[in-house]
Each structure stands twice: as C-alpha cells, then as structure tokens.
C-alpha cells in the first residue's frame, strides 16, 4: 500500500506542476530596481550560514520520495544531481523503511551517490526516538527533517489524525539524535507562532514549506473516491506570508513551497530565509529530461543566482536582506490583517547612501 502511495504521489505531483511561468504568491514580493546598486560578480559568494552550519549554496533539493523501486531510482537521480552541483538533499519520509527494512536501499542510495554531501533524513512527528536514530544512521545523515502534514493526513484516505502528541514527539526526537533537527511543513506553511513553539522544543531551523507549489490537499483529494475535501485545496499560508509572519523569531528560517525559478529563491532570501528548498520543479525537470537535464538546470540556477545578486548589490545571501523589497497585493493584505509592520525595520535616510530599508510597503514615503 505504501509503495503504491509513494508512486501515486510522484505521478500526481508531476501532473499538477504547470512549469515555472505560472503566477504564484511570490509575485507579491518585488525588488525595487536601483540602477547603481550593482557590484562586481567576482565579489559574490553563495555560501550561507545558519544553525552553526555552512552550506556552499543557499539552495537544496527538498524531501520527496523513497520506499518503492521507482522512487528509489528517483532518489538515485536526485542524489547524482545534488553531487554534481553541491546541493544539500533530503530524502522523502523514511517511514516505509521503518515498517519494512527491505526498502532501505531506496533511501540509502542517496548517501551512496552523494557520499560527502549534506544529506537530510525525513520522518513524521509520530516517529519514536529509536526510529529516528535508525533513519539517521541508515543515511549517516547530517540533519533530520521532521515534516508536519496535518492537512495532508486529514485529506489522505488512509491518513492518521492523531496529531496531539506531535510536540512531545518532536522534543523526544531532538533529544534522541545527535544531528540537528529541522522541522518542515509540506506545503501549508508554518506560522510565526508555530516556529516559536518549535524553538522551545529544541528544533534548530524551520523550513516554512508554504502554499504556492505542490499541493498535497489536491494530491490526496485526487486519491479519494468519495467524500472529498476539495474545499481544502486553497488551505494554508503562502511561503512569503510564512517568512514575514515568522521573521525575527527564534529560529533560522528555510523557505520552500512554490519556488519556480532563481528570482523566487532571491525573493525568499530577501525576506530573511537562509536557504531555499525545491521539490516539484526539480522533479519535473528530472522527469522530462533525466539526470543530466536536472544537473544542468541546477547549475543554471546557481549561475543566475550569483548574476542576480551582483545586479542587486548583494555579496552574500544574507546581504539580500538589505535590499529594498516591495510587498504588494494579497501578501500586503495578509500583513495588514496579521498586524505585521512592514516599515518597522526602516533604516533608510533620504539622500544618504548606506544600508537601505529592508522592506517597504508599496506607497511608503521614501
Ligand atoms: C513531497 N514532499 C514531502 N515532504 C516531506 O517532508 N516528506 C515527504 O515524504 C514528501 N513527499 C513528497 C513527495 C513528492 C512527490 C513531492 C513533490 C513532495 C513535500 C516537499 O518536500 C515540499 O514541502 C512541497 O512539495 C512543496 O515544495 P514544492 O514542490 O512546491 O517545491
């Protein structure tokens, strides 16, 4: 049953990806163009630091799959692309392995193909401490992602709606493993309140996993034959909304959910994310063109990231947070409704060069 489900998730995720050119929530984040802001590209470094870690690039392949022969092959190809481009990578949920050790190779292939890379194991919050140790050990993982997916479990025909023990479960897992624990959503977003709670549980970074890309309410609705929950298809916080809601909180933020192209990644970094995760878009490239197409696409993204950073005058991913950004449209409405003060961090002084305002409301006096 699980292997069939894993294959169905891949098939349905591919079917709903409509490429990098469709509109998305990240369009509500606009860089203000400053024609003299640029720097020499030779000064740009893509290295990013958070939670005591250093990654060579602010981009990673986010959790997707494993547990069946087909998804094991996908994991192998994703890991080869990660190795060829230096990207950190996460496997999909390793609960199939915990239930059936015969599926171990479909996950372990990620470490086999990316022996010196940053590899993240992935589990749900119901996993026990010993299970978490087994998952980390199989991959010799550098970090453990725990996914929160209450909406998916609700819509999933065979979902498990025992959510009440998740917080204590996370705390126990943090205590049990000797690698940093990150928590991620699967496309419905983490609010600022949730991120603060995660900090109290000992989590080291939060991947906001917001709405705007792969939609697991739709995927699970597509797997239902009756009593569907299609009215939940628009549920959740968008990725930029999460970043603004959780900004300045207790944890470093990672961004994923609906990243279509390098500009989206830069938008997330400008809103304070330390790195940006991609799933659906990379899966589609792999599906269409194979592993060489995916490696080429990732190299192209990295090349464009540094080119655009030079254009924007940001020598590092962290420096993007000093760029002038406009928050418009639905995202601006969200900020107003949540009482998020977009001008609170203003350091701009008209007529004086230097660090510029982090975030402007559209229409703010300059
Ligand atoms: C996922 N995602 C996911 N996340 C997770 O934590 N554990 C998992 O097992 C899976 N499985 C999975 C399968 C497939 C086929 C896809 C496409 C995605 C969710 C993923 O990590 C990410 O949070 C969402 O896909 C949103 O990002 P994108 O796809 O919009 O870039």
Let me know if residue 171 belongs to a domain.
yes
Tens-digit pLDDT profile for residues 300-329: 999 999 999 999 999 999 999 999 999 999
Give the CA radius of gyration of the chain.
20
Question: Mean pLDDT score of the chain, rounded to an integer?
Answer: 93
Inside any domain, residue 292: yes
Between the CA of 364 and the centroid of ligand 1 the distance, in Å, is 37
More confident: 355 or 35: 35
Contact 97, 67 (CB under 8 A): yes
User: Is residue 217 in a domain?
Assistant: yes
17 located within any domain: yes
Identify whether 250 is part of a domain: yes
Ligand 1 atom at minimum distance from 280 CA: 29
Task: State the CATH number of the domain containing residue 311.
Answer: 3.20.20.70
Asked if 243 and 292 touch (Cβ cutoff 8 Å), the reply is: no
| 304 occurs within a structural domain | yes
For residue 344, the model assigns a pLDDT of 58
On the question of pLDDT at 349 being above 50, the answer is no
Confidence at 359, pLDDT banded by 50, 70, 90: low
Q: What is the pTM of this model?
A: 0.94
The answer as to whether 149 is a domain residue is yes
Q: In this structure, is residue 366 part of a structural domain?
A: no
Residue nearest to atom 17 of ligand 1 (CA): 280
Dump pLDDT digits (tens) for 325-348: 999 999 999 999 999 998 754 432
Interval between CA 216 and ligand 1 midpoint (Å): 8
How would DSSP label each residue in 161-188? ---TTHHHHHHHHHHH-SS-EEEEESSS
Domain limits for position 353: 2-361
**Cβ < 6 Å from ligand 1: which residues?**
9-10, 13, 62-65, 92-93, 122, 145, 147, 184, 186-187, 209, 213-214, 256-259, 278-281, 283
Please tell me the total count of domains within the chain.
1
User: What tens digit of pLDDT does each residue of 169-223 get?
Assistant: 999 999 999 999 999 999 999 999 999 999 999 999 999 999 999 999 999 999 9
Cβ-in-10-Å burial (0-12, 13-18, 19+) of 304 comes to: middle
């Amino acid at each position: 049953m699980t292997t069939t489900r894993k294959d169905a998730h891949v098939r349905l995720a591919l079917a709903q990806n409509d490429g990098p050119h469709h509109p998305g929530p990240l369009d509500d984040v606009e860089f203000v163009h400053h024609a003299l802001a640029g720097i020499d590209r030779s000064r740009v470094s893509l290295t990013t630091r958070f939670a005591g870690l250093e990654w060579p690039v602010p981009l990673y392949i986010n959790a997707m799959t494993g547990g069946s022969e087909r998804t094991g092959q996908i994991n192998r190809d994703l890991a080869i692309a990660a190795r060829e481009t230096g990207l950190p990578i996460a496997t999909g949920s390793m609960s199939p392995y915990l239930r059936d050790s015969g599926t171990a190779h479909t996950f372990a292939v990620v470490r086999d193909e990316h022996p010196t890379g940053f590899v993240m194991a992935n589990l749900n919050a119901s996993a026990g401490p010993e299970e978490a140790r087994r998952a980390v050990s199989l991959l010799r993982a550098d970090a453990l992602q725990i996914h929160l997916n209450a909406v998916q479990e609700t819509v999933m025909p065979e979902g498990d709606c025992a959510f009440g023990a998740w917080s204590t479960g996370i705390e126990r897992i943090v205590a049990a493993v000797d690698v940093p624990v990150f928590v991620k959503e699967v496309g419905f977003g983490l609010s600022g309140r949730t991120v603060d709670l995660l900090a109290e549980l000992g989590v080291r970074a939060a991947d906001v996993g917001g709405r705007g890309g792969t939609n697991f309410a739709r995927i699970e609705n597509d797997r239902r034959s009756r009593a569907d929950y299609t009215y939940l298809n628009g549920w959740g916080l968008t990725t930029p909304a999460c970043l603004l809601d959780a900004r300045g909180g207790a944890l470093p933020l990672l961004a994923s959910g609906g990243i279509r192209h390098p500009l989206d990644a830069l938008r997330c970094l400008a809103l304070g994310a330390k790195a940006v995760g991609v799933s659906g878009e990379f899966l589609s490239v792999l599906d269409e063109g194979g592993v060489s197409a995916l490696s080429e696409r990732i190299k192209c993204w990295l090349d464009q990231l540094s080119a655009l950073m030079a254009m924007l005058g940001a020598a590092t991913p962290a420096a993007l947070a000093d760029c002038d950004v406009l928050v418009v449209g639905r995202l601006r409405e969200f900020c107003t409704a949540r009482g998020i003060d977009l001008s609170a961090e203003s350091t701009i002084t008209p007529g004086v060069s230097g660090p510029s305002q982090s975030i402007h409301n559209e229409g703010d006096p300059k």
